[in-house]
Amino acid sequence: MVYRGKPSKSCRNCRRRDIKCDRKLNGCSQCSRANISCPGYPNPSDLIICDETSSTIDKRRRAEISLISPHSFTDSIPARLLPSIEIHAKNLFISQYVADTDKANLFTYMRVFWPPGTVKFPLLSTVVKAVWLAFFSFSHQSSPGLHDARVNYGSALMLTTTAIQSPTEAKENSTLMSLLLLSVYERLVYWEGNIIPSNAHLRGALGLVLYRGGSQFSDPIRMNMLLGLCEFIILDCLAHETDIPQDLLILKSRVMDDADLSPKWRFLELLLEYAQLKEMQRYGVSPAMLISEAVRLMSKLEDISHVLPPFACRKDMRRLEAASITHPDHNTRRSWNNIRIIRVLLADIIREQCTKILGDLDITDPALINQQLQECICIIVSACSEICSSASGNGIIGTASQNVSSVQISTLFFHLYAAYTFAILPLELKQLLHQRLRDLSEGQFPGIQRLMNQLLRETSAYEKNFWKVWLRLGKENFSI
Tell me, what DSSP letter sits at residue 3? E
Whole-model pTM?
0.76
pLDDT at 223: 82
Q: Under a CB-based contact definition with an 8 Å cutoff, are residues 381 and 425 in contact?
A: yes
* Predicted local distance difference test score (pLDDT) of residue 194: 54
* One domain for residues 91 and 149: yes
Quick one: 32 and 101 in the same domain? no
pLDDT band (50, 70, 90) for residue 361:
low
Inside any domain, residue 418: yes
Kindly state whether residue 285 falls inside one of the protein's structural domains. no
Q: Is the pLDDT of residue 252 over 70?
A: yes
Measure the CA–CA gap between 130 and 308, rounded to whole angstroms. 36
- Torsion-angle region of residue 85: left (phi > 0), alpha (psi -120 to 50) or beta? alpha
Cα(26)–Cα(261) distance, rounded to whole angstroms?
105
pLDDT at 458: 82
* Stronger pLDDT, 343 or 401, i.e. the higher one: 343
- Same domain? For 451 and 385 the reply is yes
pLDDT recorded at residue 10 = 87
- Whether residue 107 is found in the same domain as residue 203: yes
Q: Are residues 58 and 100 located together in one domain of the fold?
A: no
**Considering 208, 224, 259, which residue would you say is the last residue of a domain?**
259
Comparison of pLDDT for 475 and 111, the residue scoring more = 475
Distances 163 to 103, 369, 424 between C-alpha atoms, Å:
29, 56, 50
Which of 121-125, 141-145, 255-259, 377-381 shows the lowest mean pLDDT across its residues?
Answer: 255-259
Residue 48 has pLDDT above 80, yes or no: no
| Statement to judge: residues 155 and 27 lie in one domain | no
Q: Does 56 share its domain with 153?
A: no
Query: Which CATH number characterizes residue 15's domain?
Result: 4.10.240
Please check whether residue 479 lies inside any domain of the structure.
yes
Other CB atoms within a 10 A radius of the CB of residue 432 amount to 22
Span 22-41, mean pLDDT? Answer: 87
Question: Which runs of E-coded beta strand occur in 273-424?
Answer: 312-314, 324-326
Residue-range definition of the domain harbouring residue 245: 86-259
Domain-embedded: residue 306: no
Q: How many domains does the chain have?
A: 3
Does residue 8 sit within a domain? yes
Q: Is residue 326 part of a domain?
A: yes
Q: Give 93's pLDDT tier (boundaries 50, 70, 90).
A: confident
Has residue 400 been placed in a domain? yes
pLDDT the model gives residue 69: 46
**Whole-number pLDDT of residue 399:** 41
Q: Quick one: pLDDT at residue 402?
A: 45
The model's confidence at residue 7, banded by pLDDT at 50, 70 and 90, is confident
| pLDDT value at 370 more than 50 | yes
pLDDT at 55 over 80: no
The reply to whether 281 falls in a domain is no
- Which 8-state DSSP code applies to residue 421? T
Q: Give tens-digit pLDDT for 181-222.
A: 888 888 888 755 555 666 788 888 888 888 877 777 777 778
Q: What is the mean pLDDT of the chain?
A: 80
DSSP 105: B
> What pLDDT is attached to residue 70?
45
Most confident segment among 51-65, 99-113, 282-296: 282-296
How much of the chain is in helix, strand and coil states, percent to nearest 5? 65, 0, 30
Percent of the chain whose predicted confidence (pLDDT) is above 70? 79
Is the pLDDT assigned to residue 396 strictly greater than 60?
A: no
Reply yes or no on whether the pLDDT at 50 is more than 70: no
Q: What was the pLDDT predicted at 421? A: 92
Domain boundary among 30, 64, 98: 64
Do residues 37 and 108 share a domain? no
Final residue belonging to a domain, choices 234, 259, 284:
259
Closest by CA to 235, choosing from 455, 475, 468, 415, is 468
pLDDT of the residue at 106: 53
pLDDT tops 60 at residue 76: no
What does residue 312 show for φ and ψ, rounded to 5 degrees? -95, 130
Q: Which residue has the higher pLDDT, 95 or 329?
A: 329
pLDDT at 292: 94
Co-location of 331 and 442 in the same domain: yes
Q: Are residues 36 and 120 in the same domain?
A: no
H or E, element range at 125: helix 123-140
Q: Are residues 359 and 453 in the same domain?
A: yes
One domain, residues 119 and 7: no
pLDDT at 117: 60
Q: For 161-172, write each residue's pLDDT tens digit.
A: 998 888 888 888
**Mean pLDDT score, 279-307:** 93
